[in-house]
Amino acid sequence: MDDFKTFSFSYPFQGDRWCFDLQARDADEAEARFRALAWGRLDGELVARIPVPDPVGPLRRLWQWAVR
């Protein structure tokens, strides 16, 4: 997702203002992704985020350097 940027959105709900972020390539794509949320669904509750180290990080960096 190197070519993605983070865009912030906000919305009113029960007298407060809430916000969330979306990743997109540009502002037009971010707005299109936001409109697509009307078709979204609740998949569940996030209870934890577990960071996973990149096991092939050095090899991938070497490959990226080699193919330039």
The answer to the question of residue 46 being in a domain is no
| pLDDT at residue 1 is higher than 60 | no
The answer to the question of residue 66 being in a domain is no
Return the biggest CA–CA distance within the chain: 55
The answer to the question of residue 64 being in a domain is no
Question: What single DSSP character describes residue 37?
Answer: G
Q: How many domains does the chain have?
A: 1
The answer to the question of residue 53 being in a domain is no
pLDDT band at 65 (very low <50, low <70, confident <90, very high): confident
Give 24-49 pLDDT, tens digit per residue: 999 999 999 999 999 999 999 999 98
Contact 23, 34 (CB under 8 A): no
Give 5-23 pLDDT, tens digit per residue: 999 999 999 999 999 999 9
The answer to the question of residue 57 being in a domain is no
For residue 66, what are its two tokens?
A: 């080699």
Q: Does the CA dihedral 38-40-45-48 come out positive or negative?
A: negative
Tell me which residue range forms the domain holding 31: 1-40
54: three-class secondary structure by DSSP: coil
**Among 62, 42, 44, which Cα is nearest to 54's?**
62
